[in-house]
Amino acid sequence: MDNRPIGIFDSGVGGLTVFKEIRELLPFENLIYFGDTARVPYGNKSSTVVQKYSLEIAKFLEMQNVKMIVIACNTASALALSTLKNEVRIPVIGVIEPGVRAAIKSAKNNSIAVIGTKATINSGAYQNRIKRLRNSLNVIAVPCPLFVPIVEENLMNTKLAEDAMDMYLSDLKKTDVKSVILACTHYPLLKEQISNFFDNKICLVDSAYETAKEVKETLEARRIVTEQETLGKESFFVSDSPETFTNIASKFLNRDIDGKCVSHPWVEY
């Protein structure tokens, strides 16, 4: 039994899609969320930079005495998971492995697509993992860099979002792909529109729920589940603009955040 909180981090607000699933599956756990709002986006940065930022956040979460770290960011999971696993002494989970497992389960034919930020797609992390688990699958990977700002600016369900989809996904629509992995924290907020773009004929895989399941399994396997039987506490930290975070967060969570979001500009720039 272990009542310490679970630390969850992302480059900004997007990781709240993962936070939300963890909260639903593990209502009694205390949760700490860190959003690196001063340095978002990570999706167009180099691996050296994303590793440095991720490590700084992991150290901060360790200082908050967390019992486990969840990298709720696809880009950081793709570029920094092994760095963090080497550098911290508590369990670290990323979103890629759970997302890939869910996608393979849902694959309806021999092709599967991954859409994400430039850094995630260029890292090859998803493609390699899928190939390692099922070599026979044909993987098509497409970066969609404008999707993150579209969500951040609340421009879902607009003509602009439709044009961006046309630009990035038209070629994919002509293939026989039936499953698409939403390999970015922000894309679940575009789910309906992406599904419509593909005439509702494809399965969209979002790793948030699978990641939450893996968190639960890890807590149980390591016997570090909380013994609390009341709703867990929630704390939110950001590296800049807590008010903006608080506003956008309600969109991701479908509710207001519980408590105050604290600005924590400790990170080196």
| Order of all β-strands in the sheet with 179-183 | 138-143, 111-116, 179-183, 203-206
Distance CA 184, CA 75 (A): 8
- 131 with 137: CB under 8 angstroms? yes
Shortest CB 186 distance to ligand DGL, Å: 6
Choice between 74 and 218, CB closer to ligand DGL: 74
Would you say 181 or 224 has its CB closer to ligand DGL?
181
- Residue among 203, 197, 202 at smallest CA distance from 156: 197
The percent helix, strand, coil of the chain (3-state, each to 5) is 45, 15, 35
- Candidate list 5, 35, 41, 188; residue touching ligand DGL; CB under 6 A: 41
Chain centroid to CA 46: 18
Q: Which two tokens stand for residue 35?
A: 């959003």
Which residues are registered as beta bridge partners of 234? Answer: 31
The residue within the footprint of ligand DGL, chosen from 5, 7, 43, 232 (CB under 6 A), is 43
Does residue 92 bind ligand DGL (CB under 6 A)? no
Which amino acid does the sequence have at 197?
A: F
Nearer residue to ligand DGL within complex by CB, 75 or 218: 75
- Which of these segments, 6-14, 84-92, 127-135, 240-248, binds ligand DGL (CB under 6 A)? 6-14
Question: Which span (59-67, 100-108, 116-124, 156-164) binds ligand DGL, by CB under 6 A?
Answer: 116-124
Interaction of residue 120 with ligand DGL, rule CB under 6 A = yes
C-alpha torsion sign, points 240, 241, 246, 249 = negative
Stretch that binds ligand DGL, among 7-15, 25-33, 84-92, 202-210 (CB under 6 A): 7-15
194 touches ligand DGL by CB under 6 A: no
CA atoms of 182 and 115, how far apart (whole Å):
6
Q: How far is the CB of 80 from ligand DGL (least distance, A)?
A: 11
Identify whether 91 is preceded by a cis peptide bond (ω within 30 of 0). no
Residue of the chain from 32, 81, 148, 177 that contacts ligand DGL (CB under 6 A): 148
Nearer of residues 185 and 239 to ligand DGL, judged by Cβ: 185
- Taking the C-alpha atoms of residue 177 and residue 107, their distance in angstroms, rounded to an integer, is 9
> Minimal CA–CA distance to 125: which of 69, 179, 71?
71
120 vs 235, beta carbon nearer ligand DGL:
120
Asked if 20 is part of the footprint of ligand DGL (rule: CB under 6 A), the reply reads no
Which residues are catalytically annotated?
73, 184
Per CB under 6 A, residues contacting ligand DGL are 10-12, 14, 40-43, 73-75, 116-117, 120, 148, 184-186
